[in-house]
Amino acid sequence: MTGTEGRMGGWLMIAGLGPGAETMITPEVSAALAQATDVVGYVPYVERLAPRPGLMRHGSDNREEIRRAEQALQLAADGHRVVVVSSGDPGVFAMASAVFEALEAGDPAWRSLDIRVLPGISAMLAASARAGAPLGHDFCCINLSDNLKPWALIEKRLCLAAEADFAMAFYNPRSASRPEGFARTLQVLRDACGPERLIIFARAVSTPQESIRVCTLAEAQPEMADMRTLVIVGSSQTRRIERDGESLVYTPRSVS
């Protein structure tokens, strides 16, 4: 065995835990977790995993993504079997990009590590499934946090997405530290899409706290979203079927 690659068989998997339910974690991810010596991630995600002998759980704070990624890469280089965990899918506004940013900027030896991304059920797919099929036609997916990009770019993308008549899935719609962005988002969308456009607030999908709320943009209030909410706005074609006290929301496959 030579170099970093073979040293004690270290590897790094960047894995998605899905939206919350155990039954939505893929067998591939479960197998990686069963073989891991180290799990690295944001505290609440790491705590979703039961402790076991031989497994070190490294929980870190939010906004620590690059430091966390460097820690994981170094552990793998030192021969550990490391799983970096994200909620949902690791490639959608989650740890996979952070790990590759750290890889590109970091120790050149890290490039020969065994690194794989293991997909997970993303929040938008889980939310869409619970609501019906609102993403059944062309759609876009936007992170509404302006921590890592200017707000003007978010607003530009909202307007262009409305013009393209995409359904839209929004991650991180609203946090205590930036409550005004989502109110502004709703106003931009009301102006661009009209008050009757359907909106879905899918909170904590697949957990005991799950709630799904469907209304129109005219009825939507900023307080309906928090950081555990995935928001979906329909296209002009999105429809609602009422049945037994619940709404099914879907976007037809064809454009009428």
19, 166, 180, 216: CA torsion to nearest 10: -90
Q: Does 8 bind its own copies (CB under 8 A)?
A: no
Burial of 121 (0-12, 13-18, 19+ CB in 10 A): buried
Q: Which stretch binds its own copies (CB under 8 A): 18-26, 42-50, 195-203, 211-219?
A: 18-26
Nearer to its own copies, 218 or 255 (CB): 255
* Contacts (CB under 8 A) with its own copies, residues 128-187: 128-130, 132-143, 148-150, 153, 156-157, 160-161, 163-166
- Return the residue matching tokens 């991630």: 41
Nearest CA-CA partner of 204 in 130, 144, 113, 93: 130
| Interacting residues with its own copies between 76 and 105 (CB under 8 A) | 89-94, 96-101, 103-104
Could you give the CA distance from residue 140 to residue 152 in angstroms, rounded to a whole number? 18
Q: Which is nearer to its own copies, 177 or 256 (CB)?
A: 256
Q: Binding to its own copies by residue 122, rule CB under 8 A?
A: yes
Q: Which residue has the tokens 């010596």?
A: 37
Q: Select 21 or 183, whichever has its Cβ closest to its own copies.
A: 21
What's the one-letter identity of residue 134? Answer: P
Q: Which of residues 192-221 bind its own copies (CB under 8 A)?
A: none
x/- binding map, residues 19-38, to its own copies, per CB under 8 A?
Answer: --xxxxxxxx--x-------
Grouping H, G, I as helix, E, B as strand and the rest as coil, residue 61 is: coil
Query: Residues touching its own copies: how many (CB under 8 A)?
Result: 75
